[in-house]
């Protein structure tokens, strides 16, 4: 009898526990259903605008089925309890997934939840995923689509932004940070992407500005729309804020995957290596005749880059901004390198303010993540002019000089044609710390070009000549032979070797192999003072 009573009691307890368990399961099911309903509504609203949802973006970015989301049910900190089920996640999806098998963290703002505005809970979710990426040594990707700070939460939303900015700075140079602007980013929202390493934008659907068109109209009485003020093309071509701009979100997200394939997960990890090495063997000989006989005629430096590096591996950065200098990643014998090259097709390859800043930023990123640098030099000097001087070409040109001098990664310079004056020094010359400096036979290394040099050196002789044009040609040719030729620099030990252009690729592969174990001693200082 006693045993029967115990059994009945146990059965009763089990039924109660089962009921509680089923009720809890039902709550979980209801929450998942609410989340799915939110996603369906979001898809409809976003697709009408030609945009993807936060989770659709995540699914394109990561390898299929690898994304692990957390904090999916976090609710806005100041939303009434009754309305919380419609705002699960507080307008941002966060988590970790794999990109080509490598761990990457991400957050994607959801514009359909409170306009993607950043409240305290929203900001803390982003801060949490930033800190996890930092702790675990993995890249972080931010997919931005937000109306900015949540006004209703006041200073709490500003405090959340501040924490995100601080995490951006703490992670800088330790893990790669990538931002994709896939909707609006205004006011304080623009400064987190500005602190990251690379910014992607899309045409027509993404905008960045500190103050919008309405404020510009009211304060300055200037009429401009969102695209004209802060659209993708504006920031890719004029301001230089955006490194990449695409026509649609899918292409943008695939470009992020491609970028990640060139860079390490953190500043201690070795560089990714591709086992697929394809070479333009048939085009190597073409390098021997690619440089025009007329030294003032342009050519496309990208053609040289694409012949030297592994086939189809050149991935240009900042393509539309400051086109007189070309920067980007490539693979050489399967290994990642960073390339900085003067572009004779644009402004004769001179260095101006924008080119100097563009180059300096790229050099510093490569140095932070131990990516070897290849410098292809054809520079006649710094761009002259009142506008350049008044806007600080001295200060800004010094940024590129500082970046090359500071960089401790393997640095190899190949002088293709012109290498004149201060610009020659800035482009990683031997005495600024270049590890190997090679030159093609077409190189001209001097304080200035022959035409300008003879007018100073031979001024008295030219003033007395009856046939000035003919004498100028004779003197210029003599100057090239005696002073501005690579063999003179080679004899002085200021370049390592004059090389046959068609042998450039194999020489570079050997040189980087020699430098693969390059050691350096970090100076005992907090940090240097770059001329910002």
Strand partners, 94: 70, 107
Distance of CA 151 to the CA centre of its chain: 32
How does DSSP classify residue 150? -
Number of neighbours of residue 134 by Cβ within 10 angstroms = 18
Q: Write the secondary structure of 273-334 as one string of H (helix), E (strand) and C (coil).
A: ECCCCCCCHHHHHHHHHCCCCCCCCCCCHHHHHHHHCCCCCCEEECCCCCCCEEEEEEEECC
| Cβ(337)–Cβ(374) below 8 Å | yes
Residue with tokens 């090359």: 404
pLDDT at 40: 62
| Cβ contacts of 239 within 8 Å, gap of 6 or more | none
Averaged over 30-34, what is the pLDDT? Answer: 59
Instruction: Quote the CA–CA distance of 399 and 325 in Å, as a whole number.
Output: 15
Alpha helices, DSSP H, located in 144-205: 155-171, 191-195
The pair of three-digit structure tokens given for residue 265, joined into one six-digit string: 């997960």
d(CA 38, CA 227): 29
Residue 265's SS3 state is coil
**485-509 average pLDDT score:** 94
Question: 360, 329 in Cβ contact below 8 A?
Answer: no
> Hey, how many other C-beta atoms are within 10 angstroms of the C-beta on 97?
21
Q: Find the mean pLDDT for residues 51-56.
A: 91
Query: CA–CA separation, 53 vs 47, rounded Å?
Result: 8
Token readout for 407 is: 């960089």
What pLDDT score was predicted for residue 84?
47
188 annotated active-site: yes
pLDDT of residue 101: 96
35 pLDDT higher than 70: no
Q: Each residue of 367-380: pLDDT tens digit?
A: 999 999 999 999 99
Q: Mean pLDDT in the chain?
A: 89
Task: Give 164 or 461, the one with higher predicted confidence.
Answer: 164
Q: What is the pTM of this model?
A: 0.90
Give the pLDDT of residue 32. Answer: 60
* pLDDT at position 4: 63
Intrachain domains 24-260 and 281-448+485-517 with the same fold: yes
In the predicted structure, residue 83 carries a pLDDT above the cut 50: no
pLDDT, average across residues 151-155: 90
Q: Is the pLDDT of residue 404 over 90?
A: yes
* 39 — pLDDT class (breaks 50, 70, 90): low
- Answer whether 157's CB lies under 8 Å from 180's CB: no
Q: What is the mean pLDDT of residues 215-223?
A: 88
pLDDT of residue 343: 98
CA-based Rg of the chain, rounded to a whole angstrom?
29
Q: Is the pLDDT of residue 464 over 80?
A: no
> Exposed/middle/buried for 81, CB within 10 Å: 0-12, 13-18, 19+?
exposed
Phi-psi region of 228 (alpha: psi -120 to 50; beta: other; left: phi over 0): alpha
Q: Is 422 a catalytic residue?
A: yes
DSSP codes, 415-427: EEEEEEHHHHHHT
Q: What is the mean pLDDT of residues 17-24?
A: 55
pLDDT of residue 204: 87
63 has pLDDT over 90:
yes
Whole-number pLDDT of residue 20: 53
Instruction: Examine the residue annotation and report whether 160 is marked as an active-site residue of this protein.
Output: no
Catalytic residue (one of 115, 137, 173, 188): 188
pLDDT of 110-134, one tens digit each? 988 888 889 999 999 999 999 999 9
Tokens of 379: 């520079």
3-state SS assignment for residue 105: strand
308, 332, 312: which is closest to 501 by C-alpha? 308
Between the alpha carbon of residue 182 and those of residues 108, 138, 304, the distances in Å are: 10, 22, 34
**For the chain, percent of residues with pLDDT exceeding 90:** 67
Active site residue 423: yes
Which tokens in the block code for residue 65?
């089925």
370, 265 Cβ separation under 8 angstroms: no
Of the candidates 191, 194, 184, the one whose C-alpha atom is nearest the C-alpha of residue 232 is: 184
Structure tokens at 356: 């100097």
From 242, 360, 407, 423, the catalytic residue: 423
For the chain, give every domain's residue range: 24-260, 281-448+485-517, 450-483
| Contact between residue 235 and residue 180 where contact means Cβ atoms under 8 Å apart | no
- pLDDT, residue 41, reads 63
Count H helices and E strands in the chain, helices first.
19, 17
Q: Catalytic residue among 187, 334, 392, 433, which?
A: 187
Confidence bin at 508 (pLDDT 50/70/90): very high
* CA-closest candidate to residue 486, choices 496, 472, 478, 475: 496
Say if CB 156 and CB 118 are below 8 A apart.
Answer: no
Tell me the residue length of the chain: 532
Buried b (16+ CB within 10 A) or exposed e, 198-212: bbbbbeebbbbbeeb
The highest-level CATH class for domain 281-448+485-517 is: alpha beta
Q: Dihedral sign, CA of 42, 48, 51, 57?
A: positive
Mean pLDDT within 241-245: 97
Cα separation, 370 vs 428, whole angstroms: 17
- Phi/psi for 62 (5° steps) reads -100, 155
From the candidates 422, 433, 451, 452, give the one annotated as an active-site residue: 422
Residue 436, pLDDT above cutoff 60: yes
Q: How confident is the model at residue 80 (pLDDT cuts 50, 70, 90)?
A: very low
* CATH class held by domain 24-260: alpha beta
Q: Which residues are registered as beta bridge partners of 317?
A: 327
β partners of residue 103: 98
Q: Give the pLDDT confidence score for residue 484 in this predicted structure.
A: 79
Structure tokens at 8: 């009945």
The b-or-e profile of 107-118 (16+ CB within 10 A means b, else e) is bbbbbbbbbbbb
């Amino acid at each position: 009898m006693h045993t029967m009573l115990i059994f009945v009691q146990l059965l009763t307890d089990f039924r109660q526990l089962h009921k509680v368990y089923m009720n809890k399961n039902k709550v979980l099911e209801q929450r998942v259903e609410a989340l799915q309903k939110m996603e369906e509504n979001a898809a409809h609203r976003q697709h009408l605008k030609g945009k993807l949802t936060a989770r659709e973006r995540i699914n394109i970015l990561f390898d299929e089925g690898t994304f692990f989301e957390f904090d999916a049910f976090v609710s806005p900190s100041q939303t009434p309890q009754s309305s919380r089920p419609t705002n699960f996640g507080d307008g941002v999806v966060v988590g970790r997934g794999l990109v080509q098998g490598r761990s990457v963290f991400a957050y994607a703002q959801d514009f359909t939840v409170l306009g993607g505005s950043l409240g305290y809970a929203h900001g803390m979710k982003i801060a949490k995923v930033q800190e996890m990426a930092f702790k675990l040594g993995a890249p972080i990707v931010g997919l931005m689509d937000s109306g900015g700070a949540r006004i209703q939460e006041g200073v709490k939303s500003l405090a959340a932004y501040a924490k995100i900015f601080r995490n951006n700075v703490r992670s800088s140079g330790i893990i790669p940070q990538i931002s994709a602007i896939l909707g609006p980013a205004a006011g304080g929202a623009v400064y987190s992407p500005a602190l990251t390493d690379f910014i992607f934008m899309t045409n027509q659907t993404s905008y960045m500005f500190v103050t919008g068109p309405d404020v510009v109209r009211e304060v300055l009485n200037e009429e401009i729309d969102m695209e004209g003020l802060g659209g993708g093309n504006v920031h890719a071509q004029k301001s230089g804020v955006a490194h990449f701009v695409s026509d649609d979100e899918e292409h943008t997200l695939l470009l992020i995957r491609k970028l990640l394939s060139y860079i390490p997960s953190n500043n201690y990890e070795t560089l990714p290596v591709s086992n697929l090495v394809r070479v333009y063997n048939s085009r190597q000989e073409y390098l021997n005749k690619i440089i025009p006989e007329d030294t003032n005629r342009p050519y496309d430096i990208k053609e040289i880059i694409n012949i030297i590096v592994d086939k189809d591996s050149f991935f240009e950065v900042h393509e539309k901004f400051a086109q007189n200098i070309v920067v980007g990643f490539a693979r050489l014998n399967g290994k990642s390198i960073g390339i900085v090259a003067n572009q004779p097709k644009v402004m004769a390859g001179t260095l101006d303010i924008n080119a100097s800043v563009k180059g300096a930023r790229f050099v510093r990123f490569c140095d932070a993540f131990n990516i070897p640098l290849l410098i292809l030099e054809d520079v006649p000097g710094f761009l002259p002019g009142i506008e350049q001087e008044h806007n600080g070409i001295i200060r800004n040109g010094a940024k590129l000089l500082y970046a090359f001098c500071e960089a401790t990664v393997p640095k190899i310079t190949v002088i293709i044609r012109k290498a004149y004056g201060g610009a020659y020094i800035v482009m990683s010359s031997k005495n600024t710390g270049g590890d190997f400096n090679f030159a093609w036979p077409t190189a001209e290394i001097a304080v200035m070009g022959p035409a300008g040099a003879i007018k100073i050196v031979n001024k008295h002789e030219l003033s007395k000549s009856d046939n000035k044009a003919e004498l100028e040609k004779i003197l210029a040719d003599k100057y090239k032979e005696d002073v501005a030729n690579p063999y003179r620099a080679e004899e002085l030990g200021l370049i390592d070797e004059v090389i046959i252009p068609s042998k450039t690729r194999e020489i570079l592969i050997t040189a980087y192999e020699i430098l693969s174990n390059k050691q350096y001693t970090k100076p005992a200082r907090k940090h240097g003072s770059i001329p910002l």
